[in-house]
Amino acid sequence: MALSETAARMEWGACWLEPAPIPRALATEVRRSTGGGLPVWASRLAPLPWLARAFARLTEKRLAHMPLALWDLIGLIVSQDNSCRYCYGAMRTVLKVLGHDDAYVDRIERDVHLAELSRTEQAALEFARRVSHANPRPAAGELEDLARAGFSRPAIAEIAYAAASSVFANRVATLLALPPEPFEGWVDRPLARLLRPLVARRLRARRVAPEPLPRPNDGPCAAVVAALAGSPVARVLREVIDDALASPVLPRRTKLLMLAVIGRALGCRPSEVEAAEGLRGAGFTPDDVSEVLANLGSPKLDGREVLLVPFARETVRYRNAAIQRHTHELWERLGTQEVLEAIGIAALANGVCRLSVLLEAC
Amino acid sequence: MLTFAWASLVVLAALAAWAWRVRQRTAGLERRLVQASRELEALQQSFARFAPHEVVEDIIAQGVSTRSETKEVTVLFADLKGFTSIAERLEPARLVTLLNGYFEAMGQAIVSHRGHLAKFIGDGLLALFGALELNPWQTNDALHAALAMRSALAAYNARLRAEGLPPLAAGIGIHRGPVVAGVLGNAALMEYGVIGRTVNLAARVEDLTRVHDTDILVTESVRAHCDRRFRLRPLPPVEARGLPAPLVTFAVEAFDGT
């Protein structure tokens, strides 16, 4: 089944956000993470540099423990599961450049159990799909099953992170209805076939040394970051979260409210509690937070929060057409930077709250 | 020598023809497999609207799901009032069109508020909130859906009047509580459904809309879980069929939020 056939069945609107100029420093940073190219998202996210950097860094394949080949396969199945046209197309193209033919990718999409994968790889892909679904959240027993299949605890953490990274990218791409990468059309051209091995070298995941937990690691999402201890992705996630919360476009309390709502929707108690603690300093009593979380509304919310709190909930599970329409309406009311920040926070919170499955076994 | 060369050629040609046919058959089988896979994927996506993801996966893998669980859901029961007399006056074809238009309008109101349309029972329907996925806002969603159903019915009635058809009146009962959820039925007919006292109570509450002459009624359990911005009017306790004590209900008037 060609990419175009599967992609055509995914509900996908037109991107309403015009490309913006990319500052030189940001372009250099993105190129370093992506292996040289400037993807479609770079110019769309450029008005909010932290989000462009977050996209680049969270999807960067620098891993210390999990099998490297699993990263792209996880990206593919999670993107397929979330019906993200942009990420699905990009992942399929990357797999092709890495040497996998369409028939192989089709078999993985159809059923990971039918593809030429080892039992441990199949178990990892199933787990990643369940992390993404979060309906219900994977239980502690599923982490133990993966350990029995032969994965170390840090490798399991990276597998969950790979799924969460894709959850993040899928949300950013879907909410903005990003257009497909021109790269998709390039890959089958005769010249491209010759150049594939060279490009593949740049696109492969890289093995890097384990790293200690970043210090300080406090504030929202600290528990989830700590669950990634030993992997370089812990530092990446900590820095991305800190950048996101430090951005002045939306108030910190609005972002914490969005995190708490997404935590509640996904049954992720730690994220909800950490967000509530952060909100205490912003003038929200525990009762205020309870009211917001119970009803997605409160007289204490400002006009922007009245829009963003219910929006946060919509980003957890959605139909593409509905969420793309909703995001567009929000953009008409709030403007580019604020909507990009809301999308970034929602995407990050969806990833982090799903990743908190790692706390189940702690 | 020439005969041998001809014979070799014939054998080679036969082998080539055989290889070509095998290749064609393989390609045909591959196409059918891809088609079947596409149909299965479409079926899986359709199923996901009727049953939780895990149940769908069980059915696809094993043909059956024995999974059952007790979960907290909000049940909405709706029924048409005085429909029997309308049914007696209308031709069957017009009656079916009228009823399907009603179900369409109500279904949209329910689905757009994250409800799951579980069953049509004659001129009634059963909708569930929080049955297919974790939904901490299930009760608010059910009340918003009920208010949307009220508006949708008013719009539908305007259309019916314009076509010279009698307007419809609906009663809606909502209750929240534990249900047993799972795949119910026999080998010939199966459906994902819920059973338990909560479902029966929602149906009894819907009955009481006639007694209280109102359109949307909820129980104390719904009142306790819903947003305070829903304007609810307490009604006197009334004996309800099959219940040991009089039932306290609240009429839903409006939502005072945005």
pLDDT in tens, B2-49: 677 888 888 899 999 999 888 888 878 877 776 776 666 666 666 666
- B134/chain A closest Cα distance in angstroms: 7
Chain B contact for A261 (CB, 8 A cutoff):
no
Domain boundaries, chain A: 3-14+40-207, 222-361
User: How many angstroms separate the CA atoms of B95 and B116, rounded?
Assistant: 25
Q: How far is CA A63 from the centre of its chain?
A: 16
pLDDT (tens digit, 9 = 90+) per residue, A218-227? 888 999 999 9
Q: Does A306 touch chain B (CB under 8 A)?
A: yes
- Site from A135, A137, A262 to mutate, B interface, most B CB atoms within 10 angstroms: A135
State the Cα–Cα distance between residues B172 and B154, nearest whole angstrom: 14
A263 CB contacts (<8 Å, ≥6 apart)?
A269, A270, A271, A272, A275, A349, A353
> Hey, are the CB atoms on A295 and B134 less than 8 Å from each other?
no
How far is the CA of A42 from the CAs of A45, A138, A300, A340, in angstroms?
5, 33, 36, 12
Q: Which CATH class is domain A222-361?
A: mainly alpha
Query: Matching CATH topology for A3-14+40-207 and A222-361?
Result: yes
CA-based nearest residue to A146, from A136, A160, A165, A163: A160
Option in B54, B136, B258 nearest A264 (CB): B136
A321 touches chain B (CB under 8 A): no
Residues A191, A192, A193, A199: is their CA dihedral positive or negative?
positive
| Beta-carbon separation of A110 and B37 below 8 A | yes
Q: Report which of A94, A109, A113, A98 is spatially closest to residue A5, judged by C-alpha positions.
A: A109
The B-side interface with A (CB below 8 A) comprises 34, 37-38, 40-41, 52-54, 133-134, 136-137, 140, 227-229, 257-258
Cβ partners under 8 Å of residue B76, min gap 6: B110, B115, B126, B127, B128, B129, B142, B145, B146, B172, B173, B174, B202
Q: What residues of B are in contact with residue A296 (Cβ under 8 Å)?
A: 137, 140
pLDDT exceeds 70 at position B257 = yes
- The model carries a pTM of 0.88
Question: pLDDT, tens digit, for every residue of B34-43?
Answer: 677 666 666 6
Q: What is the mean pLDDT of each run of 10 residues along chain A (362 residues)?
A: 72 94 96 90 97 97 95 95 94 92 82 77 93 90 92 96 98 97 85 84 90 88 94 97 97 97 94 91 91 94 96 96 97 97 98 93 51
- Which chain A residue lies closest to B135 (C-alpha atoms)? A265
Give the closest-approach CA distance of B148 to chain A in angstroms: 17
What pLDDT is recorded for position B58?
Answer: 66
Q: Residue B234 in contact with residue B250, Cβ under 8 Å?
A: yes
Could you report the per-residue pLDDT of A210-245, keeping only the tens digit for each?
Answer: 999 888 998 889 999 999 999 999 999 999 999 999
Contacts of B34 in chain A (CB under 8 A): 1, 106
Cα of B181 to nearest chain A Cα, Å: 15
Residues of A in contact with B181 (CB under 8 A): none
Residue A21 to residue A157: CA distance in whole angstroms: 36
pLDDT for A200 equals: 87
Least confident stretch, A158-162, A205-209, B187-191, B207-211: B187-191
Give contacts of A 222-251 with B, CB under 8 A.
none
Give the angle A34-A342-A313 at the CA atoms, nearest 5°.
115
Q: Which of A135, A265, A297 sits opposite B136 (nearest CB)?
A: A265
CATH of domain A3-14+40-207: 1.20.1290.10
- Residue B227 to residue A106, Cβ atoms within 8 A: no
Q: What is the pLDDT of residue A197?
A: 86
Give the one of B34, B137, B227 whose C-beta lies nearest to A1's C-beta: B34
Q: Coil, helix or strand for A171?
A: helix
Q: Compute the count of residue pairs across chains A and B with CB atoms less than 8 Å apart.
A: 37
Contact B228 A266 (CB under 8 A): no
**Of all helices (H) and strands (E), which one includes residue B52?**
none
| Contact check, Cβ <8 Å, B37/A306 | no
Q: Which residue type sits at A324?
A: Q
For chain A, give the percent of residues with pLDDT over 90: 77
